């Protein structure tokens, strides 16, 4: 089914291929909560921008991976490239015309603990509906990190540094998550005062600490 949608003023128009019965994600992270965004994540080849390329502006924050496109005339973000699915598109279901929608099932997504839950969305943008692992590295089950028992491995002043360390630990098969009080990246200055923490389970603490110590030139923290 081809659904049509766009921004409030009509400058931005798009089409998206998706079932009549939609499954949408309601995220509770800071930016999604503020914009009341309702996600329909699809592969990029299922999305077509019909009009309004020249009307689009882009907002980025934190890691800069997510490309938050919005209409410069009316300010509406009708679609964007999400950090969880950089190979796909997230369409705002609230911006779709209702005529082609039979039903909408809404699933809650805990975006406030993004690092712990992002893997749940990865398959949505895969063209064959199967999650691929282009790095060739076995995926790490970060749900193995029990937040009640986890220990702080490192504290960083900037989230980018923490993301670098997390990526290295995951590539070595160590489950780890990042926590920080920077309002989902909207207030990065809080990271400098409160810090961004890497958490691991006690069973992995010694090995994770050794791995970070062995990184060339080290990592600040």
CATH class of residue range 142-213: alpha beta
Query: Is 79 in contact with 39 (CB distance < 8 Å)?
Result: no
Q: Which of these, 2, 4, 30, 13, lies nearest to 76 by C-alpha position?
A: 13
Residue ranges for the chain with pLDDT beneath 70 = 128-143, 159-160, 163, 180-194, 215-221
Beta bridge partners of 108: 26
Write out the residue limits of the CATH 2.170.150.70 domain(s) in the chain: 2-125
Query: Is 11 in contact with 71 (CB distance < 8 Å)?
Result: yes
The confidence score (pLDDT) of residue 9 equals 96
Write out the residue limits of the CATH 3.30.70 domain(s) in the chain: 142-213
Measured distance CA(36)–CA(19) in Å, rounded: 22
> What six digits make up the tokens of 126?
């895969």
The confidence score (pLDDT) of residue 92 equals 96
Question: Whole-prediction pTM value?
Answer: 0.59
- Please name the fold of domain 2-125: 2.170.150
């Amino acid at each position: 089914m081809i659904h049509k949608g766009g921004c409030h003023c009509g400058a931005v128009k798009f089409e998206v291929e998706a079932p009549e019965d939609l499954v949408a994600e309601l995220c509770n992270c800071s930016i999604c909560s503020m914009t009341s965004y309702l996600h329909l994540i699809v592969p990029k080849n299922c999305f077509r921008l019909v009009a309004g390329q020249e009307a689009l502006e882009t907002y980025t924050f934190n890691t800069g991976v997510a490309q938050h496109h919005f209409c410069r005339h009316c300010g509406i973000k009708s679609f964007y490239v999400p950090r969880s699915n950089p190979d796909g598109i997230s369409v705002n279901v609230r911006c779709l015309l209702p005529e082609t929608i039979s039903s909408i099932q809404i699933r809650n997504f805990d975006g406030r603990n993004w690092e712990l839950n992002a893997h749940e969305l990865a398959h949505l943008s895969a063209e064959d509906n199967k999650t691929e692992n282009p790095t060739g590295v076995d995926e790490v089950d970060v749900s193995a990190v029990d937040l009640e028992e986890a220990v702080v491995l490192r504290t960083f002043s900037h989230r980018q540094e923490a993301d670098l360390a997390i990526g290295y630990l995951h590539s070595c098969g160590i489950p780890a998550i990042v926590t920080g009080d920077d309002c989902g990246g909207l207030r990065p200055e809080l990271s400098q005062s409160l810090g961004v923490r890497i958490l691991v389970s006690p069973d992995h603490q010694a090995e994770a600490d050794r791995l970070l110590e062995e990184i060339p030139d080290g990592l600040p923290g």
